Amino acid sequence: MPSYRIAEAAEILAVSDDTVRRWIEAGRLPAAQGDGRTVVDGRDLATLAEQLIEQAEASERDRTRAAAVSARNRMSGIVTRVKADTVMAQVELVCGPYRMVSLMSSDAAGELGLEPGVRAIASVKSTNVVVEKP
């Protein structure tokens, strides 16, 4: 499972490094020491990302950002859920204050290694969401 340094976690959640540190100190986001640095497990980060969306904290943080998004964007985020059957997969990501959902073949999701906690990029054009790994 991937782990992320504080700066990476902050970028994924679209918050400051200090906010991530405060969440770690408050026990809201579990962290560990890895190679002398504080790291966050990808699954824990995905769980917090979902909570932020559910609680609408992300939209409270920056209401003006939605107006600045164009129809063609690449947004870095973290996979929060993958529902797959034998043919199709539904992949959910949290990209800053946005929740993105993409439908793709199960084979594609498997080849990309998409699972909760994995960092990914949502490319948005019209009504399609394309998921890539950075």
Non-local (6+) Cβ contacts of 36 within 8 A are none
pLDDT of residue 69: 47
- C-alpha 112/C-alpha 97 separation (Å) is 23
Note the pLDDT tens digit of each residue in 47-95.
Answer: 999 888 887 644 554 444 444 545 457 888 999 999 999 999 999 999 9
pLDDT of residue 72: 58
Q: What is the mean pLDDT of residues 109-133?
A: 85
Closest CA to 88 of 101, 73, 100: 101
Higher-confidence residue: 50 or 34?
50
Considering the entire predicted model, what is its pTM?
A: 0.57
The structural domains of the chain, ordered by start, are 3-61 (1.10.1660.10), 65-132 (2.40.50.100)
| DSSP H helix total and E strand total for the chain | 6, 8
- State the chain's mean pLDDT as an integer: 84
What is the token pair recorded at 132?
A: 């890539």
